[in-house]
Structure 1
Amino acid sequence: MREDCRRHTGPLFDHADTLSVVRDMDALRRSLGEKKINYFGHSYGTLIGEQYAEEYGDRIRSMALTANIDHSLGAREFLVSSAAAAEDSFQEFVKWCDRTSSCALHGRDVTAVWDGLLARADRGEIRDPEHPDRVLTAHEITFNVFRMFYGPDREQLAAYVAGLDAQEPSERQRSTQPRQVRPSTPQGADKETEAEPFYAVFCQDWRFRAKDYPEYARLTQAEMRAAPHMRGTPRVHPAVAGCIGWPDEVNNPQHRLRVTEAPGILMLHARHDPANHFSWAANVHRQTRGTTVLLPYEGAGHSVYGRSDCTRDAVDDYLTELRMPSPGSSCAPAAKNTTH
């Protein structure tokens, strides 16, 4: 895959790491004639912001970062904390369903329903509701649910799980093999080339290279222990596995942040983020304690800015007026999710 991507992309492929992006961003600043920038970064965008602050801190007027990434983690820490974040969101969903009468699984043992559903998927018994001729794997189900944690879209999530669980045995026994659907391609025609930059970026930003299968198996076992119901981390596991076999040389290897010249940086992070563990934000804040202020959002979900008046005002006041929230303050969970 790596060589195929390089062949189709050209020299750009070897310069897709975040540090290269940061240098390009400063080139844009220069070309626009701006002395300083205002920057808002979310999720992967926080890594861009963190490294811009490290390289060009004196060129920042304001910087707000939400759902922060900790670029100092080793492979085991990264996998285990990512898995723990997904598992935490699952447990938060279970607690919500137990106390919410509108949950489609209210009054049932949600954990038992979920574990049973994945076991049935392992046996090829669960079908895609939108494509009944196709079997859903356990990984596909966990990934679909993981994405709903981002909202979190709990009503939709509960209805999705309840619907799969309610499938009749007669629906599940027709076939145990998913149909392989391939687009018709005229003989001799080139296959369509798709833009898939993720691995070019991820594998140049992180030195995650399992030396052999036993090491990979140990990482996977640690990940599974951290998330037994979510079966690890649906997003990060494929990312780490996708870097196996890449060269050991990494353009932008992980390291502790060294920010020395930047002004105050505002960080927000949900306490129950399904993808980026809250400890990542806490670690980044510890590494930059003289520069950053961390404002926790005590609720769930991946996006943070539009959660409540508290989160929105904190970011707006800082970016426009450079007013920081008081250190040690936090934003209460919103009564209703208003952003995704």
Structure 2
Amino acid sequence: MHTRRISGPSRRPCPPRSSRLLRPLHLRTGGTLLAAAALLVSACSSGTSTTAAADAALAALPGATPSALAPYYEQKLTWHSCGATGFQCATMKVPRDYAKPASGDVGLAVARKKATGRGKPLGSLLVNPGGPGGSAIKYLEQFAGAGYPAEIRARYNMVAVDPRGVAQSEPVECLSGPQMDAYAQTDITPDNQKETNQLVAADKRFAEGCAKQSPELLRHVSTVEAARDMDIVRAALGDKKLNYVGASYGTFLGATYAGLFPDRVGRMVLDGAMDPSVSARKLNEDQTVGFETAFQSFAKNCVRQSDCPLGGPGTSPAKVGRNLKAFFRKLDASPLPTGDASGRKLGEALATTGVIAAMYDQATWPQLREALTEAMDNHNGAGLLLLSDTYYERGADGKYSNLMFANAAVNCLDLPPAFTSPQQVQKALPTFEKESPVFGEGLAWASLNCAYWPVKATGRPHRITAKGAPPIVVVGTTRDPATPYAWARSLASQLSSGRLLTYDSDGHTAYNRGSKCIDAAIDAYLLRGTPPAKGKRCS
């Protein structure tokens, strides 16, 4: 949601490229389960097939910098102390419209923590946690600044940039806190025409809010534009090559940079990879399968625990899924109290988002079991509401970050919508429900969010070859819910210098998640430029 996030498949990460239901801190998605699902797949494309995309590849830009862009490439950054100890911040300018550089600027927020140790300096290491919509600066301050291995922090300046439209970089705005609360609670499994109309109306209000509050910016927050911004950042930092670690949606952003500027790629890690060649419909389906796979793992683990509210020892994953689905149906009819100050109750939409959020990392499974027990046995929805609020980045004061707004804005601009009418969704429901009996229905409806977007998509599915780039490490986790392993295999095969690194495990992304094997392989590459051996697999 690090993909395109869960807003609707589309990272998160998300997702996204993700949908609204995704997001660990890296993902890409499209809408909940309106927004949640949206974070998932973002690469929404209604009719473009994988086969058609096979004929289209992202072309590299000319090597020479156009004279109209020279002022941007030649700007100097003025750093000042900010945030946590040792962090510096600056603001830089990029053209709002690369086709018309003189028509206006966008201000980008940049943060860095300078290299602190011994050894030959390796320049800057740009990090991006995904989304789209995740704040790279927040990620750097809270995790990457101290979470990366000491030797890497000693030799690299750790750098983050909030992409255009995100967080501190002229954020896209759409809805107020109360409006977003209402949107997040919209029923995403409509039972009749009235509920279908309400869901469509919620998507339209979201789109209209974005059009009203960010009319110009909405046209210029594509991944291609954000990737071009990164090259200006590289130049402003004084680096000849871009060293980069991207997670979830950050892999799509990094791969896009490599496709546009293959001769300027340094050491690049794409963790929890997305496949740029697939249509939105296919992306959403893949992500639906991914969440079902993750849920199967959770179910098998849950019934072995003494506190599993969905079944005891010997209960099949299918039965666990039916029990959870039955609980969701009860919430659809009778939402639970949560003790929330604003009066929100736990309905099916918020509960589903909470469960999906926990699929990103198996370390969250105990929290999910506790929240489900609290809701199913004690009729208190507070625990699942907390998981959902964390996913949405909703504060205790009722205010939301702009994560979901930026997520939809990027996803809907990058590719045409997966579906353009409720009738198309209804026709696709059997497929989605077969792929995931638990989440399929909600993820299918979440995929409708880009249908009413006020700005026409500028992107299409395409391959990225980045011919001429040095080795690029693509990392895939075999049971990743948000960015299915097949996407990593596909991206690694598209890239002319792609090197696939496989993590046989659960959860979203692989680096810095506890595998010494994965971490050692990536650290060796970042420090010495040695990519993992072909076929390298960790468990």
Q: How does 1:1-340 map to 2 (within 5 A)?
A: 1-101=206-306, 103=308, 107=312, 109=315, 110-128=320-338, 134-152=344-362, 153-167=364-378, 195=402, 196-208=405-417, 210-232=419-441, 234=443, 238=446, 240-246=447-453, 249-288=456-495, 290-307=496-513, 308-332=515-539
Write the distance in 2 (CA, Å) between the matches of 1:331 and 1:291.
21
1:220 to partner: Cα distance: 3.8
Inter-CA distance 59–210: structure 2 relative to 1 (3 Å threshold): same
Write the distance in 2 (CA, Å) between the matches of 1:205 and 1:98.
41
Write the distance in 2 (CA, Å) between the matches of 1:64 and 1:194.
27
For residue 378 of structure 2, give the secondary structure of its aligned residue in structure 1.
coil
Write the distance in 2 (CA, Å) between the matches of 1:91 and 1:73.
25
Inter-CA distance 101–120: structure 2 relative to 1 (3 Å threshold): same
Write the distance in 1 (CA, Å) between the matches of 2:232 and 2:214.
22
**What is the identity, as a one-letter code, of the residue corresponding to 2:326?**
G
Query: Please, which runs of 5 or more residues in structure 2 have no aligned partner?
Result: 1-205, 382-398
Write the distance in 2 (CA, Å) between the matches of 1:106 and 1:3.
44
Inter-CA distance 129–271: structure 2 relative to 1 (3 Å threshold): farther
Preserved CA contact (<8 Å) 1:204 1:253: no
Write the distance in 2 (CA, Å) between the matches of 1:263 and 1:163.
51
1:237 to partner: Cα distance: 5.2
Preserved CA contact (<8 Å) 2:477 2:507: yes
For residue 250 of structure 1, give the secondary structure of its aligned residue in structure 2.
coil
Inter-CA distance 27–92: structure 2 relative to 1 (3 Å threshold): same
**What is the identity, as a one-letter code, of the residue corresponding to 2:257?**
Y
- Larger relative contact order (Cα-Cα within 8 Å, sequence gap ≥ 6): 1
Write the distance in 2 (CA, Å) between the matches of 1:154 and 1:243.
31
Task: Write the deviation string for residues 297-333 of structure 1: whole angstroms up to 9, x where unpaired.
Answer: 111111311121111111111111111221112111x
Inter-CA distance 331–164: structure 2 relative to 1 (3 Å threshold): same
Write the distance in 2 (CA, Å) between the matches of 1:65 and 1:233.
29
Write the distance in 1 (CA, Å) between the matches of 2:212 and 2:374.
44
**What is the identity, as a one-letter code, of the residue corresponding to 2:327?**
L
Deviates more, 1:204-213 or 1:96-105: 96-105
Write the distance in 2 (CA, Å) between the matches of 1:263 and 1:237.
41
Write the distance in 1 (CA, Å) between the matches of 2:207 and 2:344.
30
Q: Which residue of 1 aligns with 2:162?
A: none
Write the distance in 2 (CA, Å) between the matches of 1:212 and 1:10.
24
Aligned length: 308
Preserved CA contact (<8 Å) 1:39 1:62: yes
**What is the identity, as a one-letter code, of the residue corresponding to 1:216?**
V
Write the distance in 1 (CA, Å) between the matches of 2:501 and 2:442.
26
Task: Write the deviation string for residues 58-93 of structure 1: whole angstroms up to 9, x where unpaired.
Answer: 101110011111122113211211111111111101
1:212 to partner: Cα distance: 3.3
Write the distance in 2 (CA, Å) between the matches of 1:61 and 1:80.
33
Inter-CA distance 285–233: structure 2 relative to 1 (3 Å threshold): farther
TM-score by length of 1: 0.82
Question: What do you get for the CA RMSD once the two structures are aligned?
Answer: 2.7
1:270 to partner: Cα distance: 1.4
**What is the identity, as a one-letter code, of the residue corresponding to 2:531?**
M
Inter-CA distance 123–4: structure 2 relative to 1 (3 Å threshold): closer
Task: Write the deviation string for residues 18-51 of structure 1: whole angstroms up to 9, x where unpaired.
Answer: 0000111111122233211110000111011110
Query: Please, which runs of 5 or more residues in structure 1 have no aligned partner?
Result: 173-191, 333-340
Tell me the percent identity.
28
Q: Which residue of 2 aligns with 1:187?
A: none
Preserved CA contact (<8 Å) 2:321 2:437: no
TM-score by length of 2: 0.53
Deviates more, 1:275-284 or 1:217-226: 217-226
